[in-house]
Structure formats: structure tokens, C-alpha cells
Amino acid sequence: MTRWYSRNRSRLAHALRMAVSSLVAFGFAEALGLPQGFWAVITALIVTQSNVGGSLKAAMDRFAGSLLGAVYGSAIAFAIPHADGVMRALALVLAVAPLSFAAAVSSSFRVAPITAIIVLLSTTGAALGPLGFAMDRVIEVTLGCVVGLLVSVLVVPTRASRTVVGTAGEVVRLLADQLEAMADPGDPEQAGMRALAVQTRQSLGRLETLVGEAAHERRSRLTDMPDPEPLLRTLLRLRNDVVMLRRAIGEPSHEALCTPPAHAWMAVAETSAALLRHVADALSAGQAPRPDDAIARAVGNYRAAVDGMLRSPHTGQPPTDALWRLFGAGFTLEQFRRNFEDLVERSAEFATRR
């Protein structure tokens, strides 16, 4: 039971926040006598995201889109009488087309066309008039946004800026898993390399979303954590390095792994995987990873092994394709070394602030 709770704690907290925000929005809507208070409840539910940064973004998008849709829809309703079907269709086209273009330009206006349609076609809007209905709609949405934000901040709050660190550690571990699998051609994990690559891509996608949400928290002065954007950029570069290494000599049966430098390459991969795991553990513990030049030494040994193979009269010349792969791997490893050193620096920034 304890293990289940630890795995689902964040989901339970999110469910609690959503329930509280819905109840509070309903209570305020009833107390204020709003004619369509369910819009406040729906908005509060949508705004209450899994973290404060996501709630801030959802609230701004919801408010901006609803305000634009209500104002523009009311303007079209006043300008074009739409009592019959033909004029109503014309008003609908003139309202939806520009707002749909605005929504395509900026995701903040995604609800604008929907709001304009409600203003034009709702039977309640016909009874209240376009202006009155639009004002009620804006009030209800504003109430839902405020309630959703307050509940996200006050009820078991979760900061996107702190979740970023855990997700970054997850990405680093997945990169280490890939390098560890490439270190040994006979490793059965080679069969799961594609799955590891997919998991890494998915984790980086989640991290990118969290970085955007953390930016809203930083602009709103809700966190003093450093900007995670440089950390994301470094992890993207490291992931590209691992992809290039996999394409170069990551195939278990390729000739490049049958050459004398193969042992040096395996040492580089194993050393890199171990140091990546150290960085991931340091991120999870809120500590600064210790600098280590083991990767630089291993890369130097690999380059020396390749040069020794080419100069030795006792080793045959490898196939051209294998030779190009060995040189390409050497270039990529040098890039990986620099990006790893940058990762250590970025991780230390988070540890200092935490």
C-alpha cells in the first residue's frame, strides 16, 4: 500500500486539487447567482493542471481566448442580424474564420472560436442579448481561472520547476542505459535499444513541456530555481550525440566492432554510462555532481587505439565503411565529452540553488 501511494502520490494530489477547485467554483457561482455557473466549474477544472506552471499557462490561455471570442462574437452579432438560417450561417463564418486563424497562429486563442460560436448560437445568448451574454461568459471564465490558480497554489502545490530536475535525471539515466547497451555487442539489451530510444524521446518531450511551464512560474515569481532551458538544450545535444554513436558503431554485428579499437570504444561507453548515472543521482539528491575527466581520458585512449591500428603493420586495413564509422565515432565522442562537461555545470547550478 505504501509503495502504491508513493507511485501515485502526484496523481492523487492532482485529483484532490481538481475536486477542490470544482467545488469552490461551484460555490462561488451559486453565491453570485451566475446564470451559467457551470462554465466557471468547467474552467476551474481545465485550469487546475498537474503543476502551478501548467495552471498559469492554462489560465492565461483560457482567459485570453474566451475574452477575444466573446468580444469578437458580440461584435459580429451586433453587426449582422442573424435571425434566419442564412444570415446566421454568414455570421458564423465571419466569426469563426478569423478566430480560427488566430488560434492557428497562437495556441492561446484555441477557445476563441468556440466562445464566439456559443455567443452567436446559444439560446441563452438570444434571451440575454449578445453583450450581456458575453459579459456573463467572461465573468464565469474569470472566476474559474482565479479559483483554479488559487487552488493550484494553495492545495498541495506542485512546482514544475522542481519536477524538471527529476525528469532531467530520468533522461540522463536513459542515455546511460543506451550507452551501456552499446558497450557490449553481445549484450541482450541491444534488442531493446529501440525501446530505450523511444523512452528517451518521450522523456525529453515531457521535459520540454515542463521547462515551458517552469518559465511561467519564474515570470510570476513563484520559484527561485534557475532557468532550466540551458539544461534542456544540453540534454538534447547529448541525446543527439548518443543517436550518432548508435548509428556509427551501435550495431552489434558491424565490422567496426571487430577492429582493435573496439575495446577502447567499449571502455568509453562504459565510463560515460557510469558518469551519467552519477549525474542523475546527484540531480535526484539535490547535490552538485563532481567533475571527472575519466571520459576525456577514455576518448583519448580510443583515438590512440584508432591511430595505432592505422599505423601498425600487423593489422589489416579495415573496410572503408568501418573506417569511416570509427572516425565518425571519434568525432562524436569529442562532442559528447564537451556536452557532458556542460551537463555537469548545469546540474551544479540547480544543486546550488536547491
Chain segment 189-242, per-residue pLDDT in tens: 555 778 888 999 999 999 999 999 888 888 888 787 888 999 999 999 999 999
User: For residue 335, which of 245, 200, 251 has the smallest C-alpha distance?
Assistant: 245
Please tell me the distance from the alpha carbon of residue 207 to that of residue 215, in angstroms, as a whole number: 12
The whole model's pTM is what? 0.78
Position 107 scores a pLDDT of 83
d(CA 46, CA 62): 9
* Rounded Cα gap, residues 182 and 247, in angstroms: 11
Q: Rounded to an integer, what distance in angstroms lies between the CA atom of residue 62 and that of residue 108?
A: 7
All structural domains of the chain: 2-154 (no CATH), 164-353 (1.20.58)
What local confidence, expressed as pLDDT, does residue 117 receive?
Answer: 87
Give the per-residue pLDDT at 78: 83
pLDDT above 50 (res 253) = no
Distance separating alpha carbons of residues 174 and 201, to the nearest angstrom: 10
Give percent of the chain with pLDDT exceeding 90.
32
Taking only the tens place, the pLDDT of each residue in 28-79 is 999 988 888 888 999 999 999 888 888 899 999 999 999 999 889 888 888 8
Residue 310 has pLDDT above 80, yes or no: no
Query: How many other CB atoms sit within 10 Å of the CB of residue 196?
Result: 21
d(CA 18, CA 81): 40
